[in-house]
């Protein structure tokens, strides 16, 4: 049973436009959510996180939105740049100390 779901395996966006990456979760005990960017043959790089007590967190070009009632979060990248092309993973921590649960990732391709 997949508790963190990224239903779009890939997304193509033109440079300068907005990229919206979506993530759904089923476990209501998750209280902290993170987005990672990953290039092939490298470890994931932490991008941005959000606590379940917030509905928005912004850091530069990256904004994460959380809709707890819908158990949905999204990562907005604006403006998108070709260097943003990578696989993006949504991940979540449960309440208390626990391991990180990952989605399967969405490959973002930003074309010039």
Partner 1 sequence: GAVVSQHPSRVICKSGTSVKIECRSLDFQATTMFWYRQFPKQSLMLMATSNEGSKATYEQGVEKDKFLINHASLTLSTLTVTSAHPEDSSFYICSADLTIQGNRAAFFGQGTRLTVV
Residues that bind partner 1 (CB under 8 A): 32, 34, 36, 41-46, 49, 51, 89, 91, 93, 99-100, 102-105
Own/partner long-range contacts of 62-70 (Cβ < 8 Å, ≥24 apart): 62/35, 64/33, 64/35, 66/33, 70/24
Task: Answer whether the bond into residue 36 is a cis peptide, omega within 30°.
Answer: no
Question: Which residue shows structure tokens 């449960």?
Answer: 94
Residue number, 20 or 107, with CB nearest to partner 1: 107
Nearer to partner 1, 79 or 94 (CB): 94
Minimum distance, C-beta of residue 11 to partner 1, in the bound complex (Å): 16
Tokens of 80: 């998108």
Least distance from partner 1 to the Cβ atom of residue 112, Å: 25
Q: Kindly tell me which of 25 and 93 has the beta carbon lying closer to partner 1.
A: 93
């Amino acid at each position: 049973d997949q508790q963190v779901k990224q239903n779009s395996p890939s997304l193509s966006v033109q440079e300068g436009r907005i990229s919206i990456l979506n993530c759904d979760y089923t476990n209501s005990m998750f209280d902290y959510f993170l987005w990672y960017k990953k290039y092939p043959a490298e470890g994931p790089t932490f991008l941005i996180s959000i606590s379940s007590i917030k509905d928005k967190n912004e850091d530069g070009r990256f904004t994460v939105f959380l809709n707890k009632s819908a158990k949905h979060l999204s990562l907005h990248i604006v403006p998108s740049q070709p260097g943003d092309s990578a696989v993006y993973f949504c991940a979540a921590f449960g309440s208390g100390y626990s391991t990180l649960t990952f989605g399967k990732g969405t490959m973002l391709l930003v074309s010039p």
